[in-house]
């Protein structure tokens, strides 16, 4: 037997947390961009667990739609949490393919649970154009993909909180590349205690300095760092295939540097790649960007 590390891939093809359709096709597009082979070529063993069961939106009764798909999203996140906890327990690296960002409630809850059993903490670096820290009372749209970070911190949607049996610590959470925050959300963000770096901060300090601070913050007293990468954190010039594009985002190199530095910190435990919307993509460009980013997170270097 070789001593290769094993990556376990799980698809979470749900766009139920968003009002714009299409991110449910994300996992397929990322796989078609040759994810498994490329990770194997980098020297890892890869197990693809396939996709979670996600109900078809049109098959759900209208009452569920009125609740903005709370029940199915809950079930998806609960299943996903069991899966990522299992992957971590096996000593492997979970990579979750979204889906909209609501699935990160599940992927991260499972990883938190794994560390909680050993009395250890998890650090989180969340890359996103948005803060995803709304609650049902502050969210202008009510869409659950704008709420996952609040839920993980234990102050979010009551209907989802019980999935997060071990909360994320704000003092180990860093948010990067934000540039579009709802008014009420600004207050929540300032009061949350998490470390956030806006695009303005990245302009001013540079990505290298920002990542050094973010890793220091997420790594301080934690057993590892999870990267939750919303592809809309990248500028739509480089990754147009998203549901909610916001201009003025990360360059391709800034996005790679982010994951390269997390890898080099030797603290990376897992990744989410979410919000790819193949309907909005151009010739699968954004799906290929995601595969390349995953490789950077797994230690691919230029030379």
If the CB atoms of residues 92 and 96 are measured against Mn ion, the closer one turns out to be: 96
CB of residue 129 vs Mn ion: minimum separation in angstroms? 7
- Separation of alpha carbons 296 and 242, rounded Å: 21
Check if 145 is active-site.
yes
Residue 15 or 132: which CB sits closer to Mn ion? 132
Residues recorded for the chain: 303
Measure the CA–CA gap between 238 and 206, rounded to whole angstroms.
Answer: 19
Q: Are 230 and 274 in contact (CB under 8 A)?
A: yes
- Which of the residues 95 through 114 are near Mn ion (CB under 5 A)? 101
CB-facing half-sphere around the CA of 170: CA atoms within 13 A: 15
User: Does residue number 128 form part of the binding site for Mn ion (CB under 5 A)?
Assistant: yes
Cα distances (Å, whole numbers) of residue 193 to 181, 188, 217, 262: 16, 9, 11, 21
46 or 239: CB nearest Mn ion: 239
Residues 232-261 that bind Mn ion (CB under 5 A): none
Helix (H) or strand (E) holding 116: helix 104-117
Q: Does 162 participate in catalysis according to the annotation?
A: no
230 binds Mn ion (CB under 5 A): yes
The smaller minimum CB distance to Mn ion, of residues 46 and 70, is found at 70
Q: φ, ψ for residue 242 (rounded to 5)?
A: -135, 160
Catalytic residue among 114, 145, 157, 256: 145
Is residue 8 within the footprint of Mn ion (CB under 5 A)? no
**Contact residues: Mn ion, CB under 5 A:** 101, 128, 132, 230
So which residues are the catalytic ones? 101, 128, 130, 132, 145, 230, 232, 275
């Amino acid at each position: 037997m070789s001593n290769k590390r094993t990556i376990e891939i799980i698809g979470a093809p749900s766009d139920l947390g968003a009002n714009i359709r299409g991110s449910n096709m994300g996992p397929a597009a990322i796989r078609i961009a040759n994810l498994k082979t490329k990770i194997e070529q980098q020297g890892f063993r890869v197990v693809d667990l396939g996709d979670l069961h996600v109900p078809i939106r049109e098959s759900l009764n209208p009452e569920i739609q009125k609740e903005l798909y709370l029940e199915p999203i809950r079930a998806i996140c609960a299943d996903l949490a069991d899966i990522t906890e299992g992957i971590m327990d096996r000593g492997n690296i979970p990579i979750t393919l979204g889906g909209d960002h609501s699935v990160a409630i599940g992927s991260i809850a499972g990883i938190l649970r794994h560390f909680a059993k050993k009395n250890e903490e998890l650090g989180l670096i969340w890359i996103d154009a948005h803060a995803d820290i709304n609650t049902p009372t502050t969210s202008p749209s009510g869409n659950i993909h704008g709420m996952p970070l609040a839920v993980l911190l234990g102050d979010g949607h009551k209907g989802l909180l019980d999935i997060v049996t071990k909360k994320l610590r704000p003092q180990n959470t860093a948010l990067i590349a934000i540039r579009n925050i709802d008014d009420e959300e600004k207050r929540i963000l300032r009061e949350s205690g998490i470390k956030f770096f806006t695009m303005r901060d990245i302009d001013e300090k540079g990505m290298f300095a920002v990542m050094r601070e973010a890793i220091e913050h997420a790594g301080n007293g934690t057993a590892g760092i999870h990267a939750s990468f919303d592809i809309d954190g990248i500028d739509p010039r480089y990754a147009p295939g998203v549901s909610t594009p916001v201009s003025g985002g990360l360059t391709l190199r800034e996005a790679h540097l982010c994951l390269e530095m997390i890898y080099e910190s030797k603290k990376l435990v897992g990744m989410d790649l979410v919000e790819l919307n193949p309907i909005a993509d151009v010739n699968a460009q954004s799906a290929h960007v995601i595969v390349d980013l995953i490789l950077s997170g797994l230690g691919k270097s230029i030379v």
